């Protein structure tokens, strides 16, 4: 049985909005574009730079090197070198990362004057409908209740059809967007509609929306898509492993990491010991779609020498692996105890995660900045920390709303 929780109260809403008019242009998985990209790499002078950049980004983040033929590698090198030499500054950075995957380490290319005619990737237009009138909010609430009643009976398509009518009345209703995703992820075939509505929920940028995205990680109605990379990207759901590289002295840090993940609403990480290569600082190994969460976790480990290391999707069953390490003082005590687990610090950590869910582009940008440094260590890119205000009544209220949600079948 699918278990879902439904908000009791409607938040601020918006006027009628045609949901089909807005859409997200997210990067396609590498495996879906690989064949076309290797052909593009093979003739870079005939390709559009935007397409080359898309291919370079996918290759750098997700290509499985062991599966490549000699011809694939040759084409990739040709295309990436062309992009590094002739592309924009942004393209050169991405190409450099791709070439590093092939064992080719080139220096950072000096910035060049901006060519007004050069390729520029347009930013995705965020979902931001206007606020609804009171009468429309009231009508949306009726559609919401009727739609949820159908979803509880697992009449997914009927329930979604009713909820869409509610969204036309109140485009900013977080709970309608959330439950649309619940229904749509249970459709057979393509899950694009589900991703669209979860993306809209993120775009709204409210604390309540962020808390609902966190709730989706454990909501039974999303079980069918939980291992999909798009679901993980949008909600922050991850399979995590924590490896203690320094033995007993590292136990306090590992325990605090586990407490942090619990506070952030994540599934409990697996843990194991491996003292074969003790580390003086942590390393975070991660898959491309977890970058926004990496920005949060990397900061909260409290070590500016934390190293970030991208891994292939096929390299591990885990989405993130934290290899925990710390320096040890003269008395054999750990210098770094990992995340601060005091109540106030944990509340701020939750708020940092909410911000990453609301503004993932900023969080991803921080990680990319670190990846652009020679050793991929946080200190080389400047501190990742942001000033985060204490959690106010608004954020606490968002958490309480989610706690008050009911369940399908109750």
Could you tell me the domains of the chain? 30-101 (no CATH), 131-234 (1.25.40.10), 240-401 (no CATH)
CA distance 351 to 364: 17
Burial label, 111 (beta-carbon count in 10 A; 0-12, 13-18, 19+): exposed
The low-confidence residues of the chain, meaning pLDDT below 50, are 1-26, 115-121, 386-393, 406-410
Q: In the prediction, which pLDDT does 383 show? A: 60
Instruction: Write down the pLDDT at residue 382.
Output: 73
The model scores a pTM over 0.75:
no
Q: What pLDDT is attached to residue 65?
A: 86
Strand 320-324 to 283-286 pairing: antiparallel
Q: Which of 75, 80, 83 has its CA nearest to residue 98?
A: 80
Q: Report the helix count and the strand count for the chain, using DSSP H and E.
A: 15, 5
What is residue 46's predicted lDDT score, i.e. its pLDDT? Answer: 86
Burial of 234 (0-12, 13-18, 19+ CB in 10 A): buried
In order of 28, 176, 212, 228, the CA distances from 192 in angstroms are 12, 17, 19, 12
């Amino acid at each position: 049985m699918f278990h879902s929780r439904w908000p009791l109260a409607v938040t601020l809403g918006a006027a009628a909005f045609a949901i089909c008019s807005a859409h997200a242009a997210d990067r396609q998985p590498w495996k879906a574009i690989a064949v076309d990209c290797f052909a593009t790499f093979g003739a870079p002078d005939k390709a559009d730079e935007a397409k080359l950049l898309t291919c370079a980004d996918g290759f750098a983040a997700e290509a499985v090197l062991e599966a490549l033929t000699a011809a694939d590698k040759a084409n990739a090198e040709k295309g990436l070198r062309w992009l590094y030499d002739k592309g924009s500054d942004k393209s050169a950075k991405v190409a450099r990362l791709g070439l590093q995957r092939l064992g080719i380490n080139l220096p950072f290319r000096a910035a060049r004057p901006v060519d007004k005619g050069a390729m520029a990737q347009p930013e995705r237009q965020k979902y931001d409908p206007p606020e609804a009138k009171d009468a429309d909010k009231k009508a949306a609430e009726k559609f919401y209740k009727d739609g949820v009643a159908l979803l509880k009976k697992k009449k997914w398509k009927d329930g979604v059809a009713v909820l869409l009518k509610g969204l036309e009345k109140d485009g900013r209703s977080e709970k309608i967007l959330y439950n649309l995703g619940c229904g749509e992820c249970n459709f057979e075939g393509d899950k694009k509609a589900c991703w669209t509505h979860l993306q809209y929920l993120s775009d709204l940028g409210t604390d309540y929306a962020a808390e609902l995205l966190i709730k989706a990680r454990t909501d039974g109605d999303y079980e069918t898509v939980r291992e999909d990379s798009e679901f993980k990207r949008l909600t922050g759901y991850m399979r995590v492993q924590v490896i203690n590289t320094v033995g007993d002295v590292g136990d306090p840090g590992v325990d605090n990491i586990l407490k942090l993940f619990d506070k952030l609403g994540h599934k409990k990480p697996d843990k194991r010991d491996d003292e074969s290569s003790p580390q003086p600082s942590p390393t975070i190994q991660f898959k491309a779609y977890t970058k926004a969460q990496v920005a949060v976790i990397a900061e909260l480990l409290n070590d500016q020498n934390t190293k970030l290391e991208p891994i292939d999707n096929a390299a591990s069953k885990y989405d993130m692996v934290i290899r925990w390490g710390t320096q040890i003082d003269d008395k054999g005590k750990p210098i770094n105890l990992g995340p601060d687990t005091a109540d106030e610090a944990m509340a701020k950590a939750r708020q940092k995660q909410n911000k990453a869910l609301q503004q993932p582009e900023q969080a991803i940008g921080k990680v990319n900045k670190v990846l652009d440094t020679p050793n991929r260590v946080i200190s080389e890119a400047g501190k990742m920390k942001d000033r985060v205000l204490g959690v106010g009544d608004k954020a606490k209220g968002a958490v309480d709303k989610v706690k008050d949600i009911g369940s399908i079948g109750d």
